[in-house]
Structure 1
Amino acid sequence: MRKRRLLLLALLIGYASTSWSQTRVSGLVTDDQNAPIPGVNILVQGASTGTVTDFDGNYALTVPGPDAVLVFSSIGFHQQNVTVGTKSTINISMVPDITSLEEVVVIGYGQVEKKDVTGAIASVESKDIVRANPVQAAKAIQGQAAGVIVSKQSSRPGAGYSINIRGLSSIDYSNEPLVVIDGVMGGDINALNPADIESMDILKDASSTAIYGSRGANGVIIISTKRGSTGKPVVSYSGYAGVKVPAHLPDMMNAQQFYKASVTDNELNGGTSRPFTSTEMDLVESGRSTDWLDKISDPAMQTNHSISVGGGSGSTNYHFSAGYLNEGGNLKNTKFQRYNIKGSMDSKVNDFLKVGFTANYSLAKQEMGSNEALRSAYRARPTGVAHYDEVLNPDENQELEWNGYAAWMGINDKQVLNPLIEIDPYNFQDETRSNTFFGNAYIELTPVDGLSIKSSLSASVDNSRFGQFRGTMTKDRKTTLLPRSFRQTDDISNYTLDNIITYNKKVGEHDFTLTGVQSSFQERNEEMDSYVDELPYNSLWYAYGTGRPVELDTRLTERSLLSYMGRLIYGFKSKYILTLTSRWDGASQLSEGNKWDFFPSAAVAWRLGEEDFINSIEAISDMKLRVSYGLVGNSSVSPYSTQARLVNTPYDFDGSEAYGFAPSNLADRNLKWEKSKELNIGLDMGFIKNRIGASLEVYNRKTVDLIYNEQIPTSSGFSSVTTNVGEVANRGVELSLNTVNVVNSKFKWTTSVNFARNVNEILSIGNDGIQADIATGLFVGHPLQSHYDYEFDGIWQLDEEEAASEYNQVPGSVKVVDQNNDGQISSNEGEDDRKVIGSEQPDWTMGMTNKFTYGNFDLSFLIYTSQGATYRNSMLSGTMGEVGAGRYNALNLNYWTINNPSNEYYGPGIANNPYRGAIFYQDASFVRISDITLGYTLPSTGLDKFGFSNFRMYVQVSNPFVFHDFDGMDPEFNSSTYNDGIPSATYLFGLNVSF
């Protein structure tokens, strides 16, 4: 009986303590106009308890006790935290969150609130850069900004990216945008530690880039790095470690498939195969095969560590950081290492004087490995043996012997060298070392309210050293010649002095911002090339004095730019905004009388969302219409292009060699600016309290007076002249969409989508009405980078033997279209059956990022696609040749034979196959799923006990999936060669910590 009483008492105490510790709270949530807000998330901080308001804004939930903190959050409103205390009713008035409108956008020599932007500008935030974990900062832009195409230049570690904004405009010169890093124009984006970046603002239309004049002709990317803010020091660490594995590799023939194609199918199709040695036959008959690509590739480690400290007092703020990156390559003996140090400081000396600086230093080392080794791995016969006695003792780990048998893999053909010998670092080295510094220092005076006078000196210094060593056993030295070494040094330095005056004034409902800039830029580039032969021992850098000098060449180029700029930003009632910009540029590399030119622009914006007839529509949160027109110039020709340069030329005088000087080029004394005129119309919209945000851009850009190396008659003594000729147009549409798809107390799903279509067209290529320049691939009415060749029409089949014979072909060979139906295939003028069969520029691109949060977990991934581009498949052209001839291995494809009359690829051994090149042009469209990241952030409760303010861990997979119909390899990495590295997928584990 006593035990029952004790049990009852314990239950009553437990019930009472539960009742005392829990509290029922209810209330009403309204906006600043006292209207109820449905769907507001209400969470108990540090717990999983939560609820949402109903349609009338009411809520009710049970909390642990009086110390509980309720967190109220909703799209379009500021988050609010309220301690329960003794209250059982808590009513909340939510404050509208206009942060998205007040967000600052950097526009060049200044900044404006996002709501006041009049041009076409896209932004990439720090959180998106961190999420992507790029080795190079440019990678973080891919798929994040409409109209910006970012493509990796190769698959080798440390490889850079090409960036193009709104299509190609220049024929022979760079289409890359200007990169401005903390005010340093021309800063090296590849030398920057991505963890140091706060934001990237991409200026796309002419009115936005006009403030940069000729330097912004191809768009501008303004990068702002992290700076300190007032408060106690914050130390942050971000790092990851993981592994890169080869991915998306071509399916090459194995030994048995290669033998069948080279002997059986070859002879079946009437061809004659190359002989196979007894060593090769032993490999074929034993069912073994040599996978050369596998033998020269390995998984590789990738690590990155960044640490920073930032803070400040009332007058001085600072931020310092250091980073280390080690990216291994999947091709053996390839690696990229980068060390970064960055510092910035801003100090307010007194009420009217402010000074500061930013400095970035990068030390990088890139080991590229052997191009020939990778090419050989694709082409080498899979019937060859990797080790000299592999047949007798198939031990793949034994030491390689340096002899001819190993070099030629036991086959009767010396066209391809053993890839394992070619890639050995003792035999081949390819290395680039670079030291890069860029930074600026400024002094700013504010003598009166609204007036700023600022002078900024920026400097960029890049010293790089490239070297390549080729030993005796490389293909280049043919296994008998002594080693060779080549080296090149580049010392590039430039300095910019900017003097900026800015005046802000508000008069009633009128807002004025006036900016005046004077800028001077100077650049100096020193280069030296040299190589020596017959080195007595293997050395990349230090054996020059022991070999036979072959070449020594030095070059010096200098250029300068002087500019004067002005800009007015005028706003009326925060509804109507006008931006006027003008720039006067003088470039040293243009001809006398054409060095100076004037580049104006104008843009207007109407904030329709502030008008009553739009504001009264409940579903519309914001709306702005923008129209801009601008003129920009491009002077990106090499210095001295307007002058005839002299070169040392040998002459024969009665059998004796003598040297004199002769002009190396024909000069155009009237070379002038390349100019682009652009009209841009934009519409920005927000719906359902900005839960849906959209931006639409339509543009038309015309570039005239193209700077082009025009072909001229050889009777002139020269092949071309750099001159102004031709016009190119880019017309397009861009759409950006940001949505909050689902949001409740535990789960949130957001999506960002951007789409861009650009139509590039050559309008003219000369003053004589020329419609095509076949030699340079320029065709009026078609895009730049077009392909001109015969059009593939399948494979001649057995029942088409008579028709094929009319074109002097046979079944199994490539059929092309007879464009003029004259019964012959010809490339002669007037009878040409070739045509434009596509361009390397895509029809459209799209990026989509999805982000999910559930409690403390987060998940995100990127989908990126490029559609409509046509590439000449370098893998096909480099390996197929005469398929089945037995010299080179080839892709394992559905080749035509008498017993397998496919209509895709020509047959092995088909001798009469003159138009086989038509098969190499393929659709390079692809869809890539990348940057799949799953993270977990530790709850804030308890973190402070360990001194942490944030602790997040994550796993990430980059480039695991790519879908395409391009034969052999990932089409994004297709280039003029197929030996630019091995595509990979990367698996990482990382931490983001702050304390």
Structure 2
Amino acid sequence: MRKVFLLSMLLCCLVGIATAQTRRLTGKVVNNENGSGLSGASILVKGASQAAVTDQDGKFAITIPTGNVVLVVSSVGFASKEITVTNQTSLSINLTSESNALDEVVVVGYGERKKKDVTGAMSSLQSKDIVRSNPTMAAKAIQGQVAGATVTKASNRPGAPYNITIRGENTINNSTAPLIVIDGLMGGDINNLNPNDIQSMDVLKDASSTAIYGARGANGVVIITTKKGVSGKPKVSYDGYAGIKYLAHVPKLRTTAEFYKLAYTDRIAAGLPGTVFTIAEQAKITANETTNWADVATDPGMQASHNISVSGGSENTTYRFSAGYLNEEGNVLYTGFKRYNLNAGLDSKISDRIKAGFTSYITYSDQNWGSQESLRGAFRARPTGTIYYKDLTNPSQNGDINVNGLAIWMGINDKQVPNPLSDIDPITSKLQTKTISAIVNAYVDINILKGLNFRTSLSGSHIGQEIGDWRGTWSKSQLANKPRTQLDNKKTQSYTIDNILTYKTDFGKHKLDFTALQSAFYQRDELATIAVKDLPFNSYWYALQTGTITAQGSSLVERTLSSYMGRVNYAYDDKYLLTITGRSDGASQLAEGNKWAFFPSVAAGWKISSEKFMQNQNLISNLKLRVSYGEVGNSTVNPYSTQASLLNTGYDFDGVAATGFAPLNLANKDLRWERSKELNFGLDFSILKSRLSGSIEVYDRNTVDLILNQKIPNLTGFSQVTANVGKIQNKGIELTLNSVNIAKQDFKWTTTLTFTKNNNKLLELYGDGQLVDKGNNLFVGFPIRGNFDYQFAGIWQLADTTAAKVYKQVPGSVRVVDQNGDNLISSTNAIDDRTYLGTQLPNWIMGMTNRFNYKNFDLSFFLYYRNGVQYRNSTLSGTFGELGTRYNSLASLNYWTKDNPSNTYFSPYVANPYRGAINYQDASFLRISDITFGYTLPQSLKNRLKMSNARVYAQVSNPFIFTKYTGFDPEFNSAIYQDDVPSILVTMGLNISF
């Protein structure tokens, strides 16, 4: 009885303690627009299990812990809100309709606008979207998240950049990259930025949006705004991760037994002599030992990123400082990329009328790409080879050499491929790029009168690069010759001055916004290069004077752009929108009479959902129709291309060799801008209480006056002249969808989907009626970047012996289509059986991000699909496709023999003059990537730790890819000697702030 009494007393005490640690909170959740109560809204204590749901009047009651508590309040169709509760006992909480998220401000170029008032085609990415996948390069964040943008990595090498095109390719010989604007600086390098320092990226796509940048807007514009300080007490944030890059999706090569069958057994069966193997190789064959050179030359690599920032300020002055470090090791030994970033920003309200500020950004990177040949050598070297000299059975048989313990010829008679480990050694081969870049932007903002504002800004950029390429004695390119090296020093400086005058006013139902701009841009590019051979020792590029100079040179290129722009934004009754823009640009690259060009645009919008006839319905919360037309130019005309140039050449002068100068090309003073004209229709929508929202864009862009090399009669002394000839069309459709699939009290599932379909077509070539330029793979009526060759029709079989003989072929040879049926395969101009096979441009692209939130847990993953690209597989046509006795090859190549009548790959034992036709492959692929699982610490624990945020996560990047392409990576046409193996990156990360 006594024990029962004591237990009862203990329970009462515990209940009392629990009661003392909680309290009751009541309140109401209302619609911010009309004050009506919101039924079914959920109220959740962040980081805890307590939750409640509002009744039909929007009222709720919830038990919460004592002390400071954060409530997460959400309702379908409304933006979620976090409320900090101190000692209140009752609350009134206003939720804003997600359609009002359209009040979000976006950067449109030389100004900002509310998203709901934008009339052009643009997409925006915020910081959380940019860092979602932990990209090493900021450009990757655009991939699959911006409809209309095609983002492709240049290689798998550490620190490799990404290439961006927007709405297809508008030019053939000039740059297709969009204009990058970083905090007002035009022409910045996106690859030098730390993604963690970016607040937003606004992508301008149609000509009416990019016309404000005139001659530089033809390829689209990406406006990058870096993070700024926010008033309040200092906030310290850390974002970082560390992980391992595992080799993945690596093609399997032949084992020793499979190679022996190819090089000996099947050769004899085909009536050819079998390959003669050395004693060392025979020992490998007998023991069935395989040297996996690809495995020997590669290893998992580490990758880590650490970023720390401090921000804060007063009501009048805010600041932000940050530092970042990235270390990415390659999977090929001794390769890697390191980047260091420093960022500082200050904004100050000097007086009631004057604001001033600056942003500075400094980056230093060190990129080591090692040998150009080591990886290719690893995939070509025979599996019968021996790694170390000490393990050779009879090194004298093949004249092998001991180089730092390695068997340089691997115990093989054929000396085409040296030991891959020798080429990988930094003493033997090294390709290093050191880059330092600095960006500075300073501004003064003056409020002259009510609504009248003047802003002047100065932006400057400096990029310095040192590129050293070292080839030692036992590198693949030297093979026992003395070392050689090359050193390039590049320097680019640019300055931009912008003076902007804006005036905003409204009267009655009318709103007007005027912007006037005067801008000046200057860029200077310097290059100095020197190449040296016969170096006496391993000095890399630091003792050039000890060798023999084989080449040297330097260059200086300067360009300027002067601009004037005017823009008018008009809105009536907040329903009908009109934007008119005009910009005039003058560029130094062009000759007098063609330097200046005017680029106009007009755009209109109609907010249909604001009309009276749309008010008494609940299906559609936002519906806006847009139409725009604009003209833009491509200023990437090579400087001095309007002028004639000279060539340093040799000639015979009365039997004596002499040097002098000769004309290299004809001048063309009439050269002018490439010009794009675009019509765009857009529809923005939000339905089902904003559970489904998005936009649809349909566009038609025509680019005229393409700058191409036009052929001219040889009697002129020249074969061609640079001229404005040719037309390209890009038209397509873009779709962006955002959906709230499930929204429960503790669980939420959202999806973002983008779809891009672009049709590229060459409309005119050289302006003389010519329809085909086979040498440059250009065909009127087809997309550019085309593939022109014989069409693969399988392999000649034994039953086709008679038919094959007509074409001078035998069973086992590659069969191609006789396009004109004349029983002759020809490639002459008069009779050509080659044909247009496909394009390297994508047919359509889809990106999808799924996000799941359950209490404090979050899960997300990304799908990326690209369809329609055709590559001439660089690896299959060289590294992997060399079926024979010299090199190893893909194990999956099902080659033809009499006993194996394959119809997919030719016989290595017969002549194959059309073997190249087999190399064209569909490079469509589906990639599942960026699988992230995270956990945010409970609010109570964060309070005890005095943290404002704390989240840990694990991420797997690039775990799955589905494709029929047999090369390294279907995303780009990889050449093995310029690449790294694909990898799966597994990381653990931490986000905290105080």
Shift of 1:484: 0.7
Whole-Å Cα distance in 2 between the matches of residues 16 and 366 of structure 1? Answer: 64
8 Å Cα contact 2:401/2:409 also seen in 1? no
Shift of 1:802: 1.4
Q: 3-state SS of the aligned residue for 2:987?
A: strand
TM-score relative to the length of structure 1: 0.95
Give the direction of change, closer, same or farther, for the CA distance of 1:735–1:260 in structure 2 (3 Å limit): same
Whole-Å Cα distance in 2 between the matches of residues 65 and 491 of structure 1? Answer: 61
2:560: which partner in 1?
A: 560
Whole-Å Cα distance in 1 between the matches of residues 303 and 372 of structure 2? Answer: 22
Whole-Å Cα distance in 2 between the matches of residues 718 and 404 of structure 1? Answer: 56
8 Å Cα contact 1:119/1:603 also seen in 2? yes
1:208: which partner in 2?
A: 209
Whole-Å Cα distance in 2 between the matches of residues 787 and 49 of structure 1? Answer: 63
Alignment-mate amino acid for residue 563 of structure 1:
S
1:984: which partner in 2?
A: 983
Shift of 1:15: 6.4
Question: Which aligned pairs between 1:44-193 and structure 2 lie closer than 5 A?
Answer: 44-53=45-54, 71-75=72-76, 76-77=78-79, 79=81, 81=83, 94-96=95-97, 99-193=100-194
Give the direction of change, closer, same or farther, for the CA distance of 1:871–1:46 in structure 2 (3 Å limit): closer
2:920: which partner in 1?
A: 921
8 Å Cα contact 1:875/1:978 also seen in 2? no
8 Å Cα contact 2:335/2:368 also seen in 1? yes
1:700: which partner in 2?
A: 700
1:335: which partner in 2?
A: 336
Q: 3-state SS of the aligned residue for 1:265?
A: helix
Whole-Å Cα distance in 1 between the matches of residues 229 and 84 of structure 2? Answer: 30
Q: 3-state SS of the aligned residue for 2:378?
A: helix
Calculate percent identity across the aligned residue pairs. Answer: 52
Shifted more, 385-394 versus 669-678: the winner is 385-394
2:493 is the counterpart of 1:493:
yes
Whole-Å Cα distance in 1 between the matches of residues 4 and 841 of structure 2? Answer: 85
Deviations 1:371-407 (A, max 9, x none): 111111111111111211324599xxxx993189822
Give the direction of change, closer, same or farther, for the CA distance of 1:77–1:333 in structure 2 (3 Å limit): closer
Q: 3-state SS of the aligned residue for 1:261?
A: helix
1:535: which partner in 2?
A: 535
Question: Which aligned pairs between 1:249-648 and structure 2 lie closer than 5 A?
Answer: 249-391=250-392, 401-402=402-403, 406-479=407-480, 481-648=481-648
Shift of 1:265: 2.1
Shift of 1:615: 2.9
Shift of 1:667: 2.0
Alignment-mate amino acid for residue 73 of structure 2:
F
Question: Which aligned pairs between 1:733-812 and structure 2 lie closer than 5 A?
Answer: 733-812=733-812
Alignment-mate amino acid for residue 541 of structure 2:
W
8 Å Cα contact 2:380/2:888 also seen in 1? yes
Whole-Å Cα distance in 1 between the matches of residues 15 and 311 of structure 2? Answer: 50
2:819: which partner in 1?
A: 819
- Aligned residue-pair number: 988
Alignment-mate amino acid for residue 585 of structure 1:
D
Whole-Å Cα distance in 1 between the matches of residues 423 and 19 of structure 2? Answer: 79
Give the direction of change, closer, same or farther, for the CA distance of 1:127–1:261 in structure 2 (3 Å limit): same
Question: Which aligned pairs between 1:818-857 and structure 2 lie closer than 5 A?
Answer: 818-857=818-857
Shift of 1:482: 1.1
8 Å Cα contact 1:882/1:909 also seen in 2? no
Alignment-mate amino acid for residue 157 of structure 2:
R
Shift of 1:323: 1.0
Alignment-mate amino acid for residue 850 of structure 1:
N
Deviations 1:777-816 (A, max 9, x none): 1000100100011111111112111111121111111111
Q: 3-state SS of the aligned residue for 1:648?
A: strand
Shift of 1:358: 1.1
Alignment-mate amino acid for residue 243 of structure 1:
I
Deviations 1:298-338 (A, max 9, x none): 11111111111111112211111111111111111111111
Shift of 1:878: 0.5
Alignment-mate amino acid for residue 507 of structure 2:
V
Shift of 1:544: 0.7
Whole-Å Cα distance in 2 between the matches of residues 16 and 639 of structure 1? Answer: 83
Give the direction of change, closer, same or farther, for the CA distance of 1:562–1:82 in structure 2 (3 Å limit): closer
Whole-Å Cα distance in 2 between the matches of residues 509 and 492 of structure 1? Answer: 49
8 Å Cα contact 1:271/1:910 also seen in 2? no
Q: 3-state SS of the aligned residue for 1:892?
A: coil
Whole-Å Cα distance in 1 between the matches of residues 326 and 163 of structure 2? Answer: 21
Q: 3-state SS of the aligned residue for 1:162?
A: strand
1:245: which partner in 2?
A: 246
TM-score relative to the length of structure 2: 0.95
Alignment-mate amino acid for residue 991 of structure 1:
L
Give the direction of change, closer, same or farther, for the CA distance of 1:917–1:404 in structure 2 (3 Å limit): farther
Give the direction of change, closer, same or farther, for the CA distance of 1:298–1:393 in structure 2 (3 Å limit): farther
8 Å Cα contact 1:263/1:884 also seen in 2? no
Shift of 1:455: 1.4
Shift of 1:697: 0.3
Shift of 1:560: 1.0
2:958 is the counterpart of 1:959:
yes
Alignment-mate amino acid for residue 280 of structure 2:
T
Q: 3-state SS of the aligned residue for 2:402?
A: coil
Whole-Å Cα distance in 2 between the matches of residues 525 and 701 of structure 1? Answer: 32
2:968 is the counterpart of 1:969:
yes
Shift of 1:586: 0.8
Shifted more, 307-316 versus 700-709: the winner is 307-316
Alignment-mate amino acid for residue 190 of structure 2:
I
Q: 3-state SS of the aligned residue for 2:831?
A: coil
RMSD of equivalent CA atoms:
2.4
Alignment-mate amino acid for residue 989 of structure 1:
M
1:936: which partner in 2?
A: 935
Give the direction of change, closer, same or farther, for the CA distance of 1:213–1:272 in structure 2 (3 Å limit): farther
Whole-Å Cα distance in 2 between the matches of residues 514 and 557 of structure 1? Answer: 36
Q: 3-state SS of the aligned residue for 2:665?
A: coil
Q: 3-state SS of the aligned residue for 1:446?
A: strand
Shift of 1:831: 2.4
8 Å Cα contact 1:895/1:907 also seen in 2? yes
8 Å Cα contact 1:440/1:456 also seen in 2? yes
Alignment-mate amino acid for residue 805 of structure 2:
S
Deviations 1:694-753 (A, max 9, x none): 200000000000011234455544443221110000010000000111111211111000
Whole-Å Cα distance in 1 between the matches of residues 42 and 982 of structure 2? Answer: 44
Q: 3-state SS of the aligned residue for 2:259?
A: helix
Whole-Å Cα distance in 2 between the matches of residues 771 and 500 of structure 1? Answer: 47
Q: 3-state SS of the aligned residue for 1:389?
A: helix
Give the direction of change, closer, same or farther, for the CA distance of 1:527–1:68 in structure 2 (3 Å limit): closer
Give the direction of change, closer, same or farther, for the CA distance of 1:507–1:370 in structure 2 (3 Å limit): same
Deviations 1:611-636 (A, max 9, x none): 12223220111111110000001131
Deviations 1:207-243 (A, max 9, x none): 0000101111100000000001211111111111111
Whole-Å Cα distance in 1 between the matches of residues 609 and 725 of structure 2? Answer: 46
Whole-Å Cα distance in 2 between the matches of residues 514 and 819 of structure 1? Answer: 61
Whole-Å Cα distance in 2 between the matches of residues 318 and 5 of structure 1? Answer: 63
Deviations 1:435-454 (A, max 9, x none): 11112111221111111111
Q: 3-state SS of the aligned residue for 2:582?
A: strand
8 Å Cα contact 1:885/1:909 also seen in 2? no
8 Å Cα contact 1:924/1:965 also seen in 2? yes
Alignment-mate amino acid for residue 484 of structure 1:
R
Whole-Å Cα distance in 2 between the matches of residues 455 and 587 of structure 1? Answer: 22
Shifted more, 613-622 versus 879-888: the winner is 879-888
Deviations 1:143-199 (A, max 9, x none): 110010111001111100000100011001110000000001111111111110000
Q: 3-state SS of the aligned residue for 1:559?
A: strand
Q: 3-state SS of the aligned residue for 1:371?
A: coil
Give the direction of change, closer, same or farther, for the CA distance of 1:7–1:385 in structure 2 (3 Å limit): closer
Alignment-mate amino acid for residue 534 of structure 1:
D
Whole-Å Cα distance in 2 between the matches of residues 69 and 319 of structure 1? Answer: 26
Q: Identify unmatched segments of 5+ residues in structure 1.
A: none
Whole-Å Cα distance in 2 between the matches of residues 667 and 374 of structure 1? Answer: 44
Shift of 1:370: 0.7
8 Å Cα contact 2:584/2:597 also seen in 1? yes
Give the direction of change, closer, same or farther, for the CA distance of 1:830–1:976 in structure 2 (3 Å limit): farther
8 Å Cα contact 2:674/2:707 also seen in 1? yes
